[in-house]
């Protein structure tokens, strides 16, 4: 297959003509220039590359996108409706544009900064691009070249943020074929603790392309609960990279729920650079129609005494296609690593397919590493049990599927968020007559 260099959208020329922030900052211009060089040579990743073996970006490359959003009509009531959490600090981006009037950032506590990316360029200078590699994936280069908006969260040392911070990204559908390139920076200073929810929502079922890169920097003894909920339209392209660097004693708990998108791809990467640091990577992809969801995770254990837990579950219906690839790399110095990784998939109908590959690369001996992967169906005995108690077939199946799916929510402590996510998942399952 040829390289996906011939794109329908001339992204490189978009960079010249558009109103990207930071035109006056030489360091940022230099970074964008590097990204341009990289993207011009690499193009979009092709299926020939091992990491893209099961996911073709051909349709993405052939779709003509626009970068100019027309004004949308999303109002406050709609935002209330779409938001996952009632009580949260909220930054709202509609069609790639930060909307101050819809955001709730007035009464931020001392030590917490939440600002749109475009207004925080100076403060992110030191760390921008440090967590992701430009040369690895053409899409990160594309994001770096065109990044325009996003959220910058900074939590000062010894601060425990009292409420979750919700980044609500809405695609209103007002602009057809809109492409947005978002960049989020989340930085926690020593001993800080916070909860961040990244929430992507599509209002209509139009085509759009969201390309987001979230960088996380965790200093010593920090703890970040990081949720990502993707509910874009079933025609959308959603490409996301989440990358964290973790210092000693830090904990990064991620939960990554994929419900929307025609084609979605998540790259989640953590680097455990300090001792006693820990990563939780949990996630769910619940797909139907002809959705295609690809999740690639990678955990690098670089120093001794680090731990990681990973659990991804997949529920596949109709003609959808799920891809999971989990990589755990234990580097030579990383003795006493304790890591486990699970991927369980439920196939519910003919026509769906799953390709899963849990990987381990281990270069240290005194470690405890395990992984498991399963593909199967609902348990007929359990189904019989529910049917015998009067539930109709559809309800019984939905109940069992829901139980299978919400298992991934169990490990994170926030009851409010768990209930909100559980409800979102429940809405996606078919309802029987008697429910």
Partner 1 sequence: MAEQKQQIEEFVPSEYSAGFVTEIESDSLPPGLSEETVREISRIKGEPEFLLEWRLEAYRHWLTLETPEWAHVNYPEIDYQAISYYSAPKDKKDGPKSLDEVDPELLRTYEKLGVPLEERARLAGVAVDAVFDSVSVANTFQDKLAEEGILFMPFSKAVKQHPELLKKYLGSVVSYRDNYYAALNSAVFSDGSFVYIPKGVRCPMELSTYFRINAANTGQFERTLIIADDDSHVSYLEGCTAPMRDENQLHAAVVELVAMDRAEIKYSTVQNWYPGDENGKGGIYNFVTKRAACRGESSKVSWTQVETGSAITWKYPSVILQGDNSTGEFYSVAVTNNMQQADTGTKMIHLGKNTTSTIISKGISAGRSSNAYRGLVRIGPNAENARNYTECDSLLMGDTCAAHTFPYIEVKNPTAQVEHEASTSKISEDQLFYCKQRGMDLEDAVSMIVNGFCKEVIHQLPMEFAVEAQNLLGLSLEGSVG
- Dmax of the chain from CA atoms? 70
Distances (CA, A) of 249 to 6, 35, 128: 46, 33, 23
Whether the Cβ atoms of residue 202 and residue 128 lie closer than 8 Å to each other: no
| Among residues 75, 370, 382, 385, the one that binds partner 1 under rule CB under 8 A | 370
φ, ψ of residue 336 in degrees (nearest 5): 60, 25
Q: Which x/- pattern, by CB under 8 A, does the window 315-334 give for partner 1?
A: -----------------x--
Whether the Cβ atoms of residue 20 and residue 32 lie closer than 8 Å to each other: yes
Q: Is 380 helix (H, G, I), strand (E, B) or coil?
A: helix
Residue 259 CB, shortest distance to partner 1, in Å, is 20
* Structure tokens belonging to residue 20: 């990207």
Residue 243 CB, shortest distance to partner 1, in Å, is 23
Residue 39 CB, shortest distance to partner 1, in Å, is 25
66: Cβ contacts below 8 Å, ≥ 6 apart: 175, 176, 177, 178, 179
403: part of which helix (H) or strand (E)?
helix 393-406
- Which 14-33 residues touch partner 1, going by CB under 8 A? none
Is 381 one of the binding residues for partner 1 (CB under 8 A)?
no
Is 364 one of the binding residues for partner 1 (CB under 8 A)?
yes
| Among residues 49, 349, 382, 435, the one that binds partner 1 under rule CB under 8 A | 349
Is 345 one of the binding residues for partner 1 (CB under 8 A)?
yes
Residue 52 CB, shortest distance to partner 1, in Å, is 14
| Among residues 248, 360, 383, 424, the one that binds partner 1 under rule CB under 8 A | 360
Is 309 one of the binding residues for partner 1 (CB under 8 A)?
no
Residues 410, 137: Cα–Cα separation, whole Å: 32
Is 358 one of the binding residues for partner 1 (CB under 8 A)?
yes
φ, ψ of residue 366 in degrees (nearest 5): -90, 70
Q: Which stretch binds partner 1 (CB under 8 A): 153-161, 275-283, 361-369, 423-431?
A: 361-369
In terms of Cβ atoms closer than 10 Å to its own Cβ (0-12, 13-18, 19+), residue 361 is: exposed
Q: Which stretch binds partner 1 (CB under 8 A): 4-12, 95-103, 285-293, 362-370?
A: 362-370
* Structure tokens belonging to residue 294: 């690809």
Residue 118 CB, shortest distance to partner 1, in Å, is 42
| Among residues 47, 136, 357, 418, the one that binds partner 1 under rule CB under 8 A | 357
Residue 290 CB, shortest distance to partner 1, in Å, is 15
Residues that bind partner 1 (CB under 8 A): 50, 332, 335, 345, 347-350, 352-377
């Amino acid at each position: 297959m040829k390289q996906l260099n011939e794109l329908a959208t001339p992204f490189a020329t978009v960079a010249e003509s558009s109103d990207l922030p930071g035109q006056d900052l030489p360091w940022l211009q230099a970074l964008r220039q590097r990204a341009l060089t990289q993207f011009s040579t690499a193009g979009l990743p092709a299926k020939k590359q091992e990491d893209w073996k099961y996911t073709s970006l051909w349709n993405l490359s052939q779709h003509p996108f626009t970068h100019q959003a027309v004004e949308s009509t999303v109002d406050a009531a709609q935002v209330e409706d779409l938001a996952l959490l009632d009580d949260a600090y909220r930054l709202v981006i509609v069609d790639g544009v930060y909307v101050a009037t819809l955001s709730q950032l007035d009464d931020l506590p001392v030590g917490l900064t939440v600002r749109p990316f475009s207004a925080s360029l100076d403060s992110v200078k030191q760390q921008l691009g440090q967590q992701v590699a430009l040369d690895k994936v053409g899409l990160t280069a594309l994001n770096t070249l065109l990044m325009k908006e996003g959220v910058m969260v900074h939590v000062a040392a010894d601060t425990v943020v009292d409420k979750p911070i919700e980044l609500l990204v809405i695609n209103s559908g007002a602009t057809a074929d809109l492409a947005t390139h978002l960049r989020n920076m989340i930085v926690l200073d020593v001993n800080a603790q916070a909860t961040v929810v990244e929430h992507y929502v599509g209002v209509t079922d139009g085509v759009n392309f969201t390309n987001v890169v979230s960088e996380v920097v965790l200093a010593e003894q920090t703890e970040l609960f990081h949720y990502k909920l993707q509910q874009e339209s079933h025609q959308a392209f959603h490409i996301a990279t989440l990358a964290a660097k973790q210092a000693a004693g830090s904990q990064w708990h991620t939960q990554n729920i994929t419900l929307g998108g025609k084609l979605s791809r998540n790259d989640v990467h953590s680097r455990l650079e300090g001792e006693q640091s820990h990563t939780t990577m949990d996630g769910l992809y619940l797909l139907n129609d002809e959705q295609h969801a690809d999740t690639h995770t990678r955990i690098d254990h670089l120093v001794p005494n680090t731990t990681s837990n990973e659990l991804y579950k997949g529920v596949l219906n109709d003609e959808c296609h799920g891809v999971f690839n989990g990589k755990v790399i234990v580097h030579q110095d990383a003795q006493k690593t304790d890591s486990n990784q699970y991927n369980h998939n439920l196939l519910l109908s003919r026509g769906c397919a799953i390709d899963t590959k849990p990987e381990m690369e281990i270069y240290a001996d005194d470690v405890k590493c395990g992984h498991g992967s399963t593909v199967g169906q609902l348990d007929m005995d359990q189904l019989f049990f529910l049917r015998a108690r009067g539930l109709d077939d559809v309800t019984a199946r939905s109940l069992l599927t829901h139980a299978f799916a919400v298992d991934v929510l169990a490990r994170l402590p926030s009851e409010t968020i768990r209930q909100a996510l559980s409800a979102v998942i429940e809405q996606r399952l078919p309802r029987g007559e008697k429910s």
